[in-house]
Structure 1
Amino acid sequence: MNDQISILPVTTAKGRRDFVAYAHTRYAGDPHWVAPLTGEAVGMLTPGKNAWFTHGTAQLFLAMKSGRIVGRIAAHIDHLALTQPAEQGFGPGTGFFGHFDADDQAIGNALLDRAERWLVDQGMTRMVGPISLSVWEEPGLLIEGHDHSPSVMMGHHDPVYQHWIEARGYTGVKDLLTYDLDITRGFPPLVQRIIAAGEKNARIHVRRVNKSRFEDEAAIILGILNDAWSDNWGFVPMTDAEVAEVGRKLKPLVFEDLIYIAEVEGEPVAFMITLPDLNEVLKPLRGALLPFGWARLLLWLRRPRARTMRVPLMGVVKRLQASRLASQLAFMMIEYSRREAISRYGASRGEIGWVLEDNQGMVAIADAIESRVNKRYRIYATELPRA
């Protein structure tokens, strides 16, 4: 029997399904892994079904041994990331790896070797990851917080991967944090006073989004997002096509009382998105909507009840970020969302993030509302040999 490791490129729809299915095998005994919906996961890896491919190129690889799949990896290039300033983390010559899973370290090394070679062949000089596929999707390797399941749109990984990656000499270049918050408790008195002062300020108006004007509201949020995050490490602008696609996918999770836009003198300057934790209903489905999963999911989406609410995105326009007004608007939006999450959705826990470890403004806000870090994700980099 051939026990050699073979690394094979994925070139077919069946190969993409096998790529997704391997994760079910790899995490079969992990009580905290949450399987994505299979069709959705395959679509994210398929050109024409994921708008990322309008500016990105990817090659998936499967590791085979003794006739079975024993690992997977994606090597990819984001052509928008290549145009970003190098001091912001990406830039010219930067390629990526992601969707990294393997049965053992030797297989993991073979997969990383193959991803590196593919990127070198494409003219890349540096590899960064894991990022799967976009920084807006599931960036980073989970290195702290393996003892509880991730919330919606966050990843979960075997803790042994950290040792494998660091043993190759890859360097951690940035940590991403998520913060856990007991939302049943009111915020500290100082934060409450800041919120009350904002509510008395006639210049400030914090409003819910209007779902009947979904495209217009999404355009407002995109404009604030691309401005607010433009100086952040790892920033890659989100395109109109990506926003439209994300909006279509998330529209069932968009509830007007959980997404806010803050205006100052009538100008939209900040936003915050809160989502009920879809993973709570997805976890028992194990990626399958049939035979009865679709009915359970549809019922939940009509009247969602969730213990956890996640804040995946928040932003304040760049010109206000150093001002007291920025934190005031953030506190107001967090408080309004907290109230609705408790009264309308039965939530008791919030999760904020991911947040860049050195984003002083967001870290200060998280500290002020007495949240605590519950998960840490790390992004690694390595220099590639010249072709």
Structure 2
Amino acid sequence: MNIVEVTTSQLESVFLKMPTKIYSKDINWVRPLDKMIDSVFHRDKNGFYQHGDAIRWVVFNSEGICVGRIAAFYDKKKAFTFNQPTGGVGFFESVNDQTVADLLFETAKEWLQTQGMEAMDGPINFGENLINWGLLVDGFHCQSFGIPYNLPYYETLFRYYGFQTYFEQYCYRMDIDKGLSPRLMKIARWISKRPGYSFEHVDFKNLGKYVEDFMEIYRKAWKSHDNFKGIDPKDIKAIGSFLKKLADEKYFWFAYHNDNPVAFFAMTPDWNQILKHLNGKINLFSIIKFLYLRRKKTITRARCFVMGVVPEFQGSGIESAIFAQLEKVLEKQPWMKELEFSWVGDFNPKMELLYQSVGGEKVSTLLTMRCLFDSSKPFERAPILHESMIDRVKESKK
């Protein structure tokens, strides 16, 4: 076997095409847009290069056929917040051969060690965790936009090399036609009528305002999380500009109390229901096909990819009130049948309880895995959020 760093446009093409061989007969796999994958590894398109670096490899067998690929990367803002400085690996694909997988993992490990890393997480993204994050281990059906898909044997490849579960990730789906339960609707109406509360969806013409509101919620809601790190407003603005291309502004909601932002909710149509017909390409033909399928209302599912509530309002019912606002939007889109909440980590049981309370059923499980380079050091899973926060959510359900 021969492992080669991706340094040319020809090898970039090999890197992008390699998964098509693995999933050629798998109807559940949706090929991501090549441009979305490619943009992760270009410095002028990915802001994480400002505080990190990335590298890619492909593996060829003795017959010159590509049988595997991997990327390795690190983010200095986050890597050194762990007991062992931790980088990442992602975009992993391999034939069912442990020798191939071990060569990929070992090459990534050696490079990360030269960058000062002592552990690696995978499979993850060189960027935010909204997309390309986790190893699918249960629920091998067609995944929603941004949620990874892989074959069942991948878990064995990771575990055999030395990866262990750092945390589990769950995807929940609810039937939109069933709506919120009468109890939650009662809570939503009660919250909505209380003095000082207001709700509004994003206005893309005033994106700067909502970036600031998001930053305020983010700082308060995530500061108690393990390895919390600040987030650059430029990154959020870039994500916002990207989301403008993906979804209606009525898919993004904020809740305010006395004009102070206290909660937000963001979702996008499940573009995978269209992308599965485009084979990863963007050209004149695929654009026409995309517009045709969109006009036919091919998309019947939306994916909620992030929700945040400042601590003092968690478990207060503000979440139900936001869902009630969203219901009004979806009532005008009768072709939408499902709402997916993905993903939520097992370290965040309060959010699991919330998604269950609105009628969500668990449909997929993914893993974020970690490999310590020094196996003699103790392995620790991601810590659970503070129990008092969980108790508040439980109390709100009574």
Q: Same fold, TM exceeding 0.5?
A: yes
Find 2:272's aligned residue among 279, 301, 326: 279
- Contact 1:252–1:301 at 8 Å: present in 2 too? no
Change (3 A) 1:161 1:17: same
Task: Give 2:380's aligned residue.
Answer: none
The 5-angstrom pairing of residues 221-370 of structure 1 reads 221-233=214-226, 235-298=228-291, 306-321=299-314, 324-325=315-316, 328-344=317-333, 346-370=335-359
Task: Give 1:93's aligned residue.
Answer: 85
Equivalent AA in structure 2 for residue 47 of structure 1: R
CA distance in 1, matches of 2:230, 2:89: 19
- TM-superposed CA distance for 1:127, in Å, is 1.4
CA distance in 1, matches of 2:7, 2:334: 43
Find 1:18's aligned residue among 14, 17, 21: 14
Find 1:138's aligned residue among 132, 151, 159: 132
Equivalent AA in structure 2 for residue 71 of structure 1: G
Change (3 A) 1:236 1:156: farther
Equivalent AA in structure 2 for residue 196 of structure 1: R
Task: Give 1:7's aligned residue.
Answer: 3
CA distance in 2, matches of 1:252, 1:302: 16
- Contact 1:258–1:341 at 8 Å: present in 2 too? no
Equivalent AA in structure 2 for residue 143 of structure 1: V
SS of the aligned residue for 1:172 comes to strand
SS of the aligned residue for 1:206 comes to strand
CA distance in 2, matches of 1:120, 1:156: 28
Determine whether 1:39 maps to 2:35.
Answer: yes
Determine whether 1:102 maps to 2:94.
Answer: yes
Equivalent AA in structure 2 for residue 269 of structure 1: V
Q: Name whichever of 203-212 and 246-255 sits farther off.
A: 246-255
Structure 2 unaligned runs (5+)?
Answer: 376-398
SS of the aligned residue for 2:333 comes to helix
CA distance in 1, matches of 2:137, 2:229: 24
CA distance in 2, matches of 1:305, 1:252: 17
- TM-superposed CA distance for 1:218, in Å, is 2.8
CA distance in 2, matches of 1:216, 1:299: 34
Task: Give 1:113's aligned residue.
Answer: 106
CA distance in 1, matches of 2:49, 2:291: 29
- Contact 1:208–1:261 at 8 Å: present in 2 too? yes
- Contact 1:17–1:42 at 8 Å: present in 2 too? no
Equivalent AA in structure 1 for residue 132 of structure 2: E
Determine whether 1:180 maps to 2:180.
Answer: no
Task: Give 2:363's aligned residue.
Answer: 374
CA distance in 2, matches of 1:229, 1:283: 34
CA distance in 1, matches of 2:226, 2:366: 14
Equivalent AA in structure 2 for residue 55 of structure 1: H
Equivalent AA in structure 1 for residue 260 of structure 2: E
Structure 1 unaligned runs (5+)?
Answer: none
- TM-superposed CA distance for 1:172, in Å, is 0.6
Equivalent AA in structure 1 for residue 302 of structure 2: M
Change (3 A) 1:347 1:167: same
- Contact 1:309–1:341 at 8 Å: present in 2 too? no
The 5-angstrom pairing of residues 142-181 of structure 1 reads 142-146=136-140, 148-181=141-174
Task: Give 1:75's aligned residue.
Answer: 72
CA distance in 2, matches of 1:233, 1:346: 39
Change (3 A) 1:274 1:263: same
Change (3 A) 1:111 1:162: same
Change (3 A) 1:221 1:154: same
Change (3 A) 1:302 1:35: same
Q: Name whichever of 198-207 and 332-341 sits farther off.
A: 332-341
Number of residue-to-residue matches in the alignment:
372
Task: Give 1:200's aligned residue.
Answer: 193
Q: Name whichever of 219-228 and 107-116 sits farther off.
A: 219-228
- TM-superposed CA distance for 1:243, in Å, is 1.7
- TM-superposed CA distance for 1:96, in Å, is 1.0
Change (3 A) 1:207 1:98: same
CA distance in 1, matches of 2:236, 2:74: 20
CA distance in 2, matches of 1:46, 1:302: 33
SS of the aligned residue for 1:284 comes to coil
- TM-superposed CA distance for 1:153, in Å, is 1.4
- Contact 1:305–1:347 at 8 Å: present in 2 too? no
- TM-superposed CA distance for 1:64, in Å, is 1.0
TM-score (norm 2): 0.88
SS of the aligned residue for 1:292 comes to helix
- Contact 2:217–2:262 at 8 Å: present in 1 too? yes
Deviations 1:209-239 (A, max 9, x none): 1122123223322332343223334655432
- TM-superposed CA distance for 1:27, in Å, is 1.6
- Contact 1:306–1:345 at 8 Å: present in 2 too? no
Equivalent AA in structure 2 for residue 331 of structure 1: S
Equivalent AA in structure 2 for residue 183 of structure 1: I
RMSD across aligned positions (CA): 2.1
Determine whether 1:50 maps to 2:42.
Answer: no
Percent of aligned pairs with the same amino acid:
25
